[in-house]
Amino acid sequence: MTFRVLPIEPDVLDELRKLDDAGRELSVRIEDAKDGAPLRCCLRRAQPGERIALVSYSPLRRWARETGAEPGAYEEVGPVFIHAESCDGPASPEWPEELRGSRRVLRTYSEDGHILGGCLLDNNTELSERTADDLLMDPEVALVHVRAVEFGCFFFEVRR
């Protein structure tokens, strides 16, 4: 594989815990489900008793500032779950095992931040890494966002 799986960066998480990308303050809840909310900070599911928050996040915003891209309307804002306090991040740089098994869309973006296309993964988890790798072979693709199909929310980013 020629890619990196990237959660939301720790400094961005610190910003979101103060004020999210929709301008809202953090609202904390205690996870009560056994197979809890998918956390975008450490790329695993929340465990019962953990303090988590649902925040609004714009996955292209900081990347665009960093690269000079102009995503325009593609700079969308959507909901993501994170730990309410700082955490250690993902246990592994590999594709997150705990977030497998559901339908996902891999959405590709150009270097200017515009959507180039996407690919649906319909519960076929064996194809996840190969599909991301294949999408990144296209020189026009700058990054890939992995998203939930049913809710459309951002899970993580994949880059070369």
Please write the tens of the pLDDT for every residue from 108-132.
999 999 999 999 988 766 678 889 9
Among 3, 27, 30, residue whose Cα is nearest residue 93 = 3
Report pTM: 0.93
> For residue 101, what pLDDT is reported?
72
Q: Identify which of 88-97, 108-117, 149-158 has the greatest average pLDDT.
A: 108-117
What are the sequence ranges of the domains in the chain? 4-159
